[in-house]
Structure 1
């Protein structure tokens, strides 16, 4: 992890001379809602594959709609990276009856036991990036590309509560991890006309037995040229997909979370 983080920071400074050209400071803030539809499995101290809990078929985790807040700051100083911040809460709960014995933590939950699974994956994104001005210049402002490093801090909490039907014994085992994950970051905005933008973003890292990536694709309607106020409102709709294959501190998971989103925001 440390080596990856160092390499990621080093790659950013290779592009230090490519920061966004211009003399204006740009701010952007947006807030909205995102669908979160989970699939895959999660486990804690598994002994075999039978200890993997399928979040749909075993735990019946339901889909959620959660808030999503984003902030963006760009400046004309070449050597200092631009910055984006984002916060997205994520929590799923489900219950069922075990069809097999499952080892979770330091306890083996017996077949036919009632149980409840709670998985939390709140995250904060801190992205340092540079715009590539030669692309923007070559396309007369129609294409903007960002390249940098995203550090995603995940606050993971997995809890399994179970009740043995034969003895009535109630057992609860949980695991919490705060995990900062450095990811390569690539984003692009295509603007065929000032009032319409097509946006895409991709974050990725792979190390040891871990693979983590996500991408978004969106359509933004801008008020540029339509109003004369300093604040330029916009609306954005799109789709987000995330895959988290994790093997850290006795927690193993292979989760996929996808869904549409809608944001409203301002640029100034």
Structure 2
């Protein structure tokens, strides 16, 4: 996370002059309940070296802060979408067989502690398709663009009884296609869907968001929805094949 924040702040500062010409701003803060499923490994030799997040690592659901900022720009200038999603799981588990993790082999049926951090930040540029909004009398809007998701991955595993400990960390940027649909049948209600995805060099990432947004008063909105992320990567000898999903709630402010 410490590696990504300076990059994110620099990009935000570069966007400030551009944002002064914005036609609209949307800011959202909320919480996302993240349920992890899948497995991970570090320098594996066999399938026995894979750790199941639920069965072996004993990771539970976690609720984390999330934040978004959308900047609606004038015609010909791409709109901007920034999103921050902290993510961290830890637990004490065990495995019925010995397993290799990094340079060490950890003992079977001996408790170990592990922590997985997957903080990620999205930087997106997109355009709305104008004729769709016009043809639908301002009730339907479709966006298309490019998104870069930057992962800050940190992985730690230690087994106190054997004094073994391994860790790895790296930053991984992944370019993605971005698609979004907004339907606003009445002024106080909006239904939104977002899709981001990429499959490149053996890495796969898909992120789907569905949201219902209600206007409380003036510029204040309340939103609830569901988010599903699918991540499969093989980088720096770390192999991750994980799903993250769960409901979220948000407070939106539109200016």
Instruction: For 1:28 and 1:212, locate their aligned partners in 2 and report how far apart those are by CA, in whole Å.
Output: 26
Alignment correspondent of 2:103: 106
Instruction: For 1:24 and 1:105, locate their aligned partners in 2 and report how far apart those are by CA, in whole Å.
Output: 48
2:134 is equivalent to residue 137 of structure 1: yes
Alignment correspondent of 2:229: 242
Q: Structure 2 unaligned runs (5+)? A: 1-20
Residues 2-56 of structure 1: CA deviation (Å, up to 9, x unaligned):
xxxxxxxxxxxxxxxxxxxxx9710010101110000100111011111010000
Instruction: For 2:174 and 2:201, locate their aligned partners in 1 and report how far apart those are by CA, in whole Å.
Output: 13
2:49 corresponds to which of 26, 48, 51: 51
1:171 corresponds to which of 161, 164, 176: 164
2:220 corresponds to which of 209, 233, 253: 233
Q: How many residues align structurally?
A: 235
**Stretches (4+) displaced over 2 A:** none
Task: Check conservation: 1:101, 1:110, Cα contact below 8 A.
Answer: yes
How far residue 260 of structure 1 moved from its aligned partner, in angstroms, is 0.2
Instruction: For 1:96 and 1:152, locate their aligned partners in 2 and report how far apart those are by CA, in whole Å.
Output: 30
Task: Check conservation: 2:22, 2:71, Cα contact below 8 A.
Answer: no
Task: Check conservation: 2:33, 2:61, Cα contact below 8 A.
Answer: yes
2:243 is equivalent to residue 256 of structure 1: yes
RMSD (CA atoms): 1.3
Task: Check conservation: 2:229, 2:244, Cα contact below 8 A.
Answer: yes
2:252 is equivalent to residue 265 of structure 1: yes
Alignment correspondent of 1:81: 78
Computing the radius of gyration from Cα coordinates, the structure with the larger value is 1
Instruction: For 1:245 and 1:265, locate their aligned partners in 2 and report how far apart those are by CA, in whole Å.
Output: 31
Instruction: For 1:155 and 1:124, locate their aligned partners in 2 and report how far apart those are by CA, in whole Å.
Output: 9
Instruction: For 1:105 and 1:208, locate their aligned partners in 2 and report how far apart those are by CA, in whole Å.
Output: 22
Q: Structure 1 unaligned runs (5+)? A: 1-22
TM-score (norm 2): 0.89
Residues 121-165 of structure 1: CA deviation (Å, up to 9, x unaligned):
00111011011111101111111111001101100011111134x
2:187 is equivalent to residue 187 of structure 1: no
